[in-house]
Amino acid sequence: MKRRCCILYNEPAPGAGPDEMDVLDQVGLVEEQLQKLGLEVYRIGIGTDFMDKITSLLHNPPDFVFNLVESINNQGKLVYFAPALLGQNGFRYTGCPVEAIFITSNKKLAAKFMELGGIPVPESVRPDEIRRLHFGRKYIIKPLWEDGSAGITAESVFTYSPGDEPRIAGLRPDVWFIEEFIDGREFNISIFSGPDGPVVLPPAEIEFINFGPGRPKIVDYKAKWEPDSFEYRNTVRVFPKDMCGTMAGEKLSAICRDTWNLLGLRGYARIDIRCNSAGDPFVLEVNANPCISPDSGFIAACSEAGYELTEVFGNIINDLN
């Protein structure tokens, strides 16, 4: 008898933007790969009815759930509800466990965990800690909970100057935080579970083309989701040769493995890192259960490393919670 898998995902609301609709591309790819592995696959999308939908699985339980829930009611802070309910009801599921998803969904909390664990991270403060900011230093305002560059624009980056206090004081500490801006090379490193531990894929670098001195080199919302924008057309993913098999590349890989182990990541993840002008790396963000749509960085890194997707997905479903 075939193993049965339920793909659980957040159903985009009517009129949803491209960052929400992207989950449907992920569902399609996962379905295709699991069918190639000989599984029986079906889908369930959740919204405000997420508790009823998850508990309804008890009537005809699947062998496991492929968890693609990225938010609930488009709120990233609720993303851990899905794995929490799956675990509570005794379902095995893919990807990172509820504890890792909860910690990494709050970027400031994740940074604190990493700092305490010896992982290099940029200095960050809450908006109500304005006294800790330094005049003349460059910072970026980031959403505390949301992924996919939601809420990030070119105006998010600023050099702290006298007169900025009212703008910062108006930010809600439960929604935003302020992080030191690392003005240097940006890398996205994808990882998946292997039989002998985490497999760190080749680092992808984001190249910022034609970005003049007045335009901050960041992957903002436009760069990710608006194909007609300057930002989208001029932020390009490459796999730099100077990071393959070099000491610099090994340093990034070691940080990723340490972060994976420290936060208890499983299945698959992506870690975003920036290096300053001296080449020192800083972990910006840990993406538990990152995007795995066909055009995602994770899938591109698998291809760059020569992995067949069926092998990758086979490893993911062999590391169930």
Residue with tokens 């997707």: 309
pLDDT of residue 168 exceeding 80, the answer is yes
Instruction: Look up the CATH architecture of domain 104-120+183-203+239-317.
Output: 2-Layer Sandwich (3.30)
Classify 274 as helix, strand or coil: strand
Please give the share of the chain, as a percent, with pLDDT higher than 70: 99
Confidence of residue 66 (pLDDT cuts 50, 70, 90): very high
210-264 residue pLDDT tens: 998 889 999 988 888 889 999 889 999 999 988 776 777 889 999 999 999 999 9
Classify 62 as helix, strand or coil: coil
Token pair recorded at residue 86: 């799956």
Compare 7 and 230 and report the one with higher pLDDT.
7
Token pair recorded at residue 69: 């829930």
Domain regions of the chain by residue span: 4-93, 104-120+183-203+239-317, 124-180
Supply the pLDDT for residue 13. Answer: 86
DSSP string, 166-218: HHHHTS-TTTEEEEE---SEEEEEEEEEETTEEEEPPPEEEEETT--TTS---
Compute CA distances 254 → 40, 246, 277, 302, whole Å.
37, 12, 20, 18
> Alpha helix (H) ranges present in 37-124?
50-56, 81-88, 98-105, 107-116
Q: Chain centroid to CA 81: how far?
A: 17
Supply the pLDDT for residue 242. Answer: 82
Supply the pLDDT for residue 148. Answer: 61
Token pair recorded at residue 7: 């793909």
Of 9, 7, 30, 29, nearest in space to 20 by CA:
9
72-107 residue pLDDT tens: 888 889 999 999 999 999 999 999 999 999 999 999
180-213 residue pLDDT tens: 999 999 999 999 999 999 999 999 999 999 998 8
| DSSP, res 128 | G
Compute CA distances 312 → 102, 118, 241, 266, 295, whole Å.
24, 29, 23, 13, 16
Mean pLDDT for the stretch of residues 28-52: 95
| DSSP, res 124 | E
Report the amino acid identity of residue 168: I
Mean pLDDT for the stretch of residues 40-65: 94
Confidence of residue 149 (pLDDT cuts 50, 70, 90): low
Supply the pLDDT for residue 223. Answer: 85
CA 2 – CA 175 distance, rounded (Å): 45
CB-side exposure of 210: number of CA atoms within 13 Å?
7
pLDDT of residue 150 exceeding 90, the answer is no
For residues 189 and 204, is the Cβ–Cβ distance under 8 A? yes
Supply the pLDDT for residue 24. Answer: 96
